[in-house]
Amino acid sequence: MKSVSMLPRLGRHGRQLGLGAVLIAASIGAAQAQTRDYYLRSCSLFQFSSSPVGGATPWVKTGLDTSTVDNVIATRTLSLSSEGAFVRQDDTGAKPVMLIGGRWAGGPPYAGSLIPTNVKGLGIRVKKGTAVVKAERMDDFLTLYTARIMSTRPPLEIVGRKEQFGTSIEIELVVIGDVAPGKHTVTGLDPGWSSTVFEAVTLQRPEASAPGVGSHLVAPLDDGPVPPGGTVQCYQRLEFDVSDMLTLDGGGPVVEATCTVDAKFTGTGFTLPMSTHHVREFPSDGDVGRAVPFSVSVNRCVAGAKPRIAFNAQYGLVPGTPGNVLQLKDAGQSGTAKNLGIILTRAGQSSALSIGDGPGTVGTEYGFDNIPGSGVAANAMAEIALEARYKRVDQSGARGVEAGAANSQVNFKIFYD
């Protein structure tokens, strides 16, 4: 999501043991199966294509376009599973658990969580819930799965029996830079990253020393034995080809880049100087200051593109106030202007634009200026002219504007028909 920072100043900102021959038969018949903890001996991970449970879901597009860095434009899930053979019952109280962890391996020294694909400007990342798999150093993995190793079968019946363990991971296709307009198929990695693999590890540990999902997992090569004993071994590492993650069951995602956003909004975003205003410019509640114009443009569009823009308030909207007024950064803190916010309008209009309030939410989608019904021409650009204004918004307590820093930030996303 792109951002526009506004940097001005205002004025001076969670068994009963049955005894007796008559009761034994009845007690046994009424008894419930008892859950027991076990150790595993051999453990083996499955490649995505041979997972005995789950599988791969098709790529699903999110509706976002390639025009904005950090946009997640498509997602899918894959089953990451392993198999283990029971070896004996745990009578020590260690409560063994099965763990599966993942990481990126073999990439450049500067590798992170986003791995570049064969399509310039597009990368992939692996997630489990909100936890993101990164390129870790040494034997550091991200814990993706953890579960107690338990069964209701009697010990002599369960030993040697195999069971599967696993989880689903989410693969996201993310915009990491400019994507050339046109249609692209994501099938592999950037050639400079050809040695990069997704690596997983499966092992067992006592529950007390097992990290939770999304936590840091250190997996030394001799890990696996569950004390006491030292003879129980459950451990394997396996590499996964990234192209399988992208193309399994249907091929890689096809992406059509529609437009690119004005370069001034890349990186940390564009700063709009609001200039100095004075308290006397806002004598009454609801008063607005002078308009400060700016614009957002897209270019290198494919023929027929119909861009729309929607906004999100980085610091939220002023509570209890109608009109989609942007909250100031550090609102309520010493040194920040009081009873003041910022509204955005289309150029020459007075109605404030609808803006999303809260992480990831956006408001109304607005069309760019003067877009023909057939959309823009090939390689053409489109622009939307906007204005920012300060607005007095009296809150409970002291009324009237108080001088101080009056900074805010609004983020935006570009959508297409």
Q: What is the enclosing helix (H) or strand (E) of 29?
A: helix 21-30
Q: Which residue do the tokens 């034995």 mark?
A: 225
| For residue 220, cis peptide bond before it (omega within 30 degrees of 0) | no
Q: Which residue do the tokens 């592999």 mark?
A: 188
pTM above threshold 0.85: no
pLDDT at 22: 35
Computed over its alpha carbons, how large is the radius of gyration of the chain?
29
Q: Which residues contact 214 (CB under 8 A, 6 or more apart)?
A: 128, 129, 130, 131, 142, 143
Single-letter code of the amino acid located at 333: Q
DSSP β-ladder status, 131-132 and 60-61:
unpaired
Cβ atoms of 174 and 123 within 8 Å: the answer is yes
Interval 145-164 mean pLDDT: 87
Does position 10 have pLDDT exceeding 70, yes or no? no
Does position 18 have pLDDT exceeding 60, yes or no? no
Q: What is the pLDDT of residues 84-132, one digit of tens each?
A: 999 888 888 889 999 999 999 998 878 899 999 999 999 999 999 999 9
E-strand ranges in 18-71 read: 36-45, 60-61
Q: What is the pLDDT of residues 242-281, one digit of tens each?
A: 999 999 988 899 988 888 888 777 666 788 999 899 999 9
Confidence of residue 138 (pLDDT cuts 50, 70, 90): confident
Cβ atoms of 122 and 176 within 8 Å: the answer is yes
